[in-house]
């Protein structure tokens, strides 16, 4: 097989970096963004630039706002948008996506593949492409300016899952030279539930809404996760773990997870966060459209609560945060987010869900 | 009748000011505080001092930590503690209070008289003193140092209620020379429900818990009541009004109430607050033991939600704030606050409640 052709959907920090890395490795890359002004700016640049962990410059073969043009001829479609935009992406590619194209959601969030597949069906897609979801974006990065991404951190291993589950191994093998970070997970429940981004993103943002609204910057983790806020997170995390348990999925609670990832000593969440060097100096969101307040609620808290409700697991703290954020932002997150209905899980038992994702 | 003798319970800003004003007007005054160190400090002072709207110096006849000694021989017992301490005050005076003593709760908060009467009964009090509740403290003031209160604002009219309701008029008449501000209300539901202090105190504090925990001062109303926080208050206030309506009590919603009290123009809560000159520069609580986070939740939000639940009125926003504050502070506010059980209202219909308070 000749070298893959990639389509990268979303020219944010990670999509830009992804396209530079792929191009630098010699692959053909098309880059798409729905923001036409951004596309025009990117097209005018001589090269796109990565600094930090990756120092490289490259220009994609095509930069476009046209999704169909972007994915045309690509073997691998790397979706690098925020996860709450996955429905829109699925609708945009439904008519032109091919059976043999592979779609990878970077990341998928809870129910990523299920949601994307349902959105394709909803848009009358006639083919059944292989869809994978990553448990996380493979790099930590941020936009310095349009076309310039600072690559701040490398994640050595990212879980990859698909439906049927065995497809994840096939895709990880296929891409092992270009993306050795992908490690097959047992199924999409493992990738979807291992994140818990709602815990560290949605909850602190809701509890720091005063500063975000007033555009008063704060050290996100160090100032934002006060002892009280940590108590709310701990209560919500217990509920998240209870939902995982009811699903039969073993997931590490947040505190031991952070302790093992970052090698932290303290036995309570507040002190653990305070002792976490990589958490120092992280900037806070300056507006409520930030992904911490949008996709992490829509694609993590909402499906967690929705699955919990279906399986009879009470999630009062998570429900409270969703309701409070809905009031604060004047947006019905519980309705707009990934409910069991949108994931095609409504009315299913734990056993039926497992069968679906095997 | 000779000049009244007063007992003032609670030597905070308002109790101190109350005792100075009464003493200056020539009445006998005993002042009590449960804080023995504060009592010792007060006793050593030559005089207690008021500045601001009241410029006066005086010393009570007795300053004591002994409640029985304080109320001994008093005609009028002015309770000037935080309202969440009323149960303790009732227990402390239950053995020695006399049938002909008049107790005035300054203020009572929702269910003040009911709660105080039940606490007296619970402590096996053998007599049935007349108990009144004021809708608010009659002056705005703050402590400059122990024994020195700054009197910042005068409230021309304060509603006074009792059970039976007709007693309020008797007490207001009796005290018209010394406290012309007292205006009889139709019953304790009117005084209790007209405050809404939970709206402007508990909710903004919960939504600014990050700053309070970090001891980052803020302009309480101007910075604390962001547009988002105002949306939460508006949702909660609708629930409060629905509870009042279910009780058959007509209460003005917060926005028109503030507009009429302060002569404000804007038609939305956020802009109204921002335009309210007396709200500028009010200091924020520097810890979670502040009365805004304690008594206003225990004695306003909790009974509002509890009565609502009993009458079938949903109060999801108020419930959410109570639950969130309970998590944040590690204290079960819904249980410790004034429930319908503590107010002796459990299982009663609107009609039965009205009969109780007439």
**C-beta separation of B187 from B357 below 8 A:** yes
Beta strands in chain B (DSSP E): 5-9, 28-32, 48-52, 56-58, 62-64, 76-79, 102-105, 130-134, 139-145, 148-154, 158-162, 182-184
* Percentage above 90 pLDDT, chain B: 88
Q: What is the dihedral of CA A274, A280, A282, A285, to 10 degrees?
A: 30
Give the pLDDT confidence of A178-190 residue by residue, as tens digits: 999 999 999 999 8
Gap between the Cα atoms of A51 and A55, Å rounded: 4
Alpha-carbon distance A173 to nearest alpha carbon in chain B (angstroms): 46
The more confidently predicted of residues B215 and B157 is B215
Interface test with B, best of A233, A327, A333 (most B CBs within 10 A): A327
Tell me the CA distances in angstroms from B251 to B124, B136, B161, B315, B348, one per residue in order. Answer: 35, 15, 15, 17, 21
Among all residues of chain A, which has the CA nearest to that of B207?
Answer: A207
> What pLDDT score was predicted for residue B269?
97
> DSSP alpha helices (H): ranges in B175-268?
188-193, 197, 203-207, 209-213, 220-224, 227-247, 254-262
Using an 8 Å CB-CB cutoff, list chain B residues near A330: 231
Q: What average pLDDT does this structure show over A133-153?
A: 92
Alpha-carbon distance B228 to nearest alpha carbon in chain A (angstroms): 4
Gap between the Cα atoms of A208 and A233, Å rounded: 13
Interface test with A, best of B205, B207, B209, B210 (most A CBs within 10 A): B210
The answer, yes or no, to whether residue B121 has pLDDT greater than 60, is yes
Alpha-carbon distance B18 to nearest alpha carbon in chain A (angstroms): 36
Give every CB contact of residue B315 below 8 A, 6+ residues apart in sequence: B236, B239, B240, B242, B243, B304, B305, B308, B309
Ramachandran sector of residue A281 (left: φ over 0; alpha: ψ -120 to 50; beta: rest): left
Each residue of B39-48: b (16+ CB within 10 Å) or e? bebbeeeeeb
- B223 to A211: CB separation less than 8 angstroms, yes or no: no
Among all residues of chain B, which has the CA nearest to that of A226?
Answer: B210
Gap between the Cα atoms of A287 and B304, Å rounded: 34
SS3 (DSSP) at B95? coil
| Closest alpha carbon to B298 in B205, B202, B224, B208 | B202
Tell me the CA distances in angstroms from A291 to A12, A81, A299, A337, one per residue in order. Answer: 12, 10, 10, 13
Q: What average pLDDT does this structure show over A238-249?
A: 94
- B232 to A324: CB separation less than 8 angstroms, yes or no: yes
Gap between the Cα atoms of A353 and B169, Å rounded: 68
β-pairing verdict for B48-52 and B148-154: parallel
- A210 to B214: CB separation less than 8 angstroms, yes or no: no
> What pLDDT score was predicted for residue A97?
97
- B227 to A209: CB separation less than 8 angstroms, yes or no: no
> What pLDDT score was predicted for residue A168?
97
Gap between the Cα atoms of B97 and B76, Å rounded: 11
- B208 to A210: CB separation less than 8 angstroms, yes or no: yes
> What pLDDT score was predicted for residue A2?
65
Q: Which residue has the tokens 């448990």?
A: A135
Please tell me which of the candidates B210, B232, B327 has its beta carbon nearest to residue A226.
B210
**C-beta separation of A143 from A12 below 8 A:** yes
Question: What is the average pLDDT score of chain B?
Answer: 95
- A320 to B323: CB separation less than 8 angstroms, yes or no: yes
Alpha-carbon distance A75 to nearest alpha carbon in chain B (angstroms): 45
The more confidently predicted of residues A261 and B313 is B313
Gap between the Cα atoms of B350 and A109, Å rounded: 49
Gap between the Cα atoms of B107 and A353, Å rounded: 57
Interface test with B, best of A210, A268, A286 (most B CBs within 10 A): A210
CB pairs < 8 Å spanning A and B: 74
> What pLDDT score was predicted for residue B262?
87
Long-range contact set of residues A333-337: C-beta below 8 Å, sequence gap at least 24: A333/A297, A333/A298, A333/A301, A333/A302, A334/A302, A334/A305, A334/A306, A336/A298, A336/A302, A337/A84, A337/A297, A337/A298, A337/A299, A337/A301, A337/A302, A337/A303, A337/A306
Please tell me which of the candidates A211, A213, A323 has its beta carbon nearest to residue B316.
A323
Residue B84 designated active-site: no
Question: Which residue ranges form the domains of chain B, and what is each CATH number?
Answer: 5-192 (3.40.50.720), 195-350 (1.10.1040.10)
Gap between the Cα atoms of A16 and A19, Å rounded: 5
The number of C-alpha atoms within 13 Å of B80 and in the hemisphere containing its C-beta is: 26
The full DSSP string for B303-352 is HHHHHHHHHT---HHHHHHHHHHHHHHT--HHHHS--TTTTT-TT--HHH
The number of C-alpha atoms within 13 Å of A149 and in the hemisphere containing its C-beta is: 26
Interface test with A, best of B205, B214, B324 (most A CBs within 10 A): B324
> What pLDDT score was predicted for residue A1?
47
Give the pLDDT confidence of B270-314 residue by residue, as tens digits: 999 999 988 898 899 999 999 999 999 999 999 999 999 999 999
Q: What average pLDDT does this structure show over A129-148?
A: 93
* Percentage above 70 pLDDT, chain B: 99
> What pLDDT score was predicted for residue A66?
96
Give the pLDDT confidence of A266-291 residue by residue, as tens digits: 999 999 999 998 888 889 999 999 99
> What pLDDT score was predicted for residue B132?
98
- B228 to A209: CB separation less than 8 angstroms, yes or no: yes
Interface of B with A (CB under 8 A): 207-211, 213-214, 218, 223-224, 226-229, 231-232, 235, 288, 316-317, 320, 323-324, 327-330
> What pLDDT score was predicted for residue B57?
97
Which residue in the list B201, B237, B300, B319 is annotated as catalytic?
B201
Q: What average pLDDT does this structure show over A2-21?
A: 95
Banded pLDDT at B2 (limits 50, 70, 90): low
Banded pLDDT at B1 (limits 50, 70, 90): very low
Give the pLDDT confidence of A68-98 residue by residue, as tens digits: 999 999 999 999 999 999 999 999 999 999 9
The full DSSP string for A1-46 is -PPPEEEEE--SHHHHHHHHHHHHTT-EEEEE-S-HHHHHHHHHSS
The answer, yes or no, to whether residue B261 has pLDDT greater than 90, is no
| Closest alpha carbon to B158 in B142, B187, B181 | B181
Give the pLDDT confidence of B183-234 residue by residue, as tens digits: 999 999 988 887 778 999 999 999 999 999 999 999 999 999 999 999 999 9
Using an 8 Å CB-CB cutoff, list chain A residues near B231: 327-328, 330
Gap between the Cα atoms of B15 and B4, Å rounded: 17
- B316 to A330: CB separation less than 8 angstroms, yes or no: no
Question: What is the average pLDDT score of chain A?
Answer: 95
Q: What average pLDDT does this structure show over A142-158?
A: 90
Residue B201 designated active-site: yes
Gap between the Cα atoms of A202 and A187, Å rounded: 25
Q: What average pLDDT does this structure show over B138-146?
A: 92
**Count of beta carbons in the 10 Å neighbourhood of residue B346:** 11
Banded pLDDT at B107 (limits 50, 70, 90): very high
| Tokens encoding A215 | 């555009």
**Count of beta carbons in the 10 Å neighbourhood of residue A179:** 22
Give the pLDDT confidence of A286-328 residue by residue, as tens digits: 999 999 999 999 999 999 999 999 999 999 999 999 999 999 9
Please tell me which of the candidates A214, A228, A232 has its beta carbon nearest to residue B223.
A214
* Percentage above 90 pLDDT, chain A: 88
């Amino acid at each position: 097989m000749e070298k893959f052709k990639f389509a990268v959907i979303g020219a944010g920090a990670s999509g830009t970096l992804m396209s530079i890395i792929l191009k630098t490795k010699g692959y053909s890359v098309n880059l798409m963004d729905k923001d036409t002004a951004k596309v025009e700016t990117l097209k005018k640049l001589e090269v796109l630039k990565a600094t930090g962990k990756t120092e490289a410059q490259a220009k994609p073969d095509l930069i476009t706002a046209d999704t169909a043009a972007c994915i045309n001829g690509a073997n691998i479609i790397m979706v690098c948008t925020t996860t709450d935009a996955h429905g829109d992406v699925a609708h945009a590619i439904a008519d032109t996506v091919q059976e043999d194209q592979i779609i990878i959601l970077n990341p998928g969030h809870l129910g990523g593949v299920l949601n994307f597949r349902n959105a394709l069906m909803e848009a009358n897609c006639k083919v059944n492409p292989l869809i994978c979801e990553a448990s996380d974006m493979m790099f930590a990065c941020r936009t310095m300016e349009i076309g310039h991404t600072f690559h701040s951190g490398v994640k050595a291993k990212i879980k990859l899952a698909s439906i049927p589950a065995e497809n994840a191994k096939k895709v990880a093998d296929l891409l092992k030279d270009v993306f050795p970070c992908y490690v097959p997970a047992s199924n999409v429940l493992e990738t979807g539930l291992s994140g818990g981004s709602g815990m560290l993103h949605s909850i602190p943002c809701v509890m720091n809404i005063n500063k975000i609204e007033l555009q008063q910057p704060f050290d996100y983790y160090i100032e934002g996760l006060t002892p009280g806020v940590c108590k709310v997170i701990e209560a919500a995390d217990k509920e998240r773990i209870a939902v995982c348990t009811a699903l039969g999925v073993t997931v590490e609670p947040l505190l031991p997870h952070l302790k093992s990832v970052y090698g932290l000593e303290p036995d309570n969440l507040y002190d653990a966060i305070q002792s976490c060097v990589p958490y120092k100096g992280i900037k806070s969101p300056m507006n409520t459209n930030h992904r911490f307040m949008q996709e992490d609620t829509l694609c993590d808290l909402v499906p967690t609560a929705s699955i919990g409700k279906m399986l009879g697991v009470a999630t009062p703290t998570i429900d409270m945060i969703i309701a409070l954020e809905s009031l604060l932002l004047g947006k019905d997150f519980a309705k707009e987010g990934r409910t069991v209905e949108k994931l095609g899980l409504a009315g299913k038992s734990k056993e039926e869900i497992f069968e679906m994702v095997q």
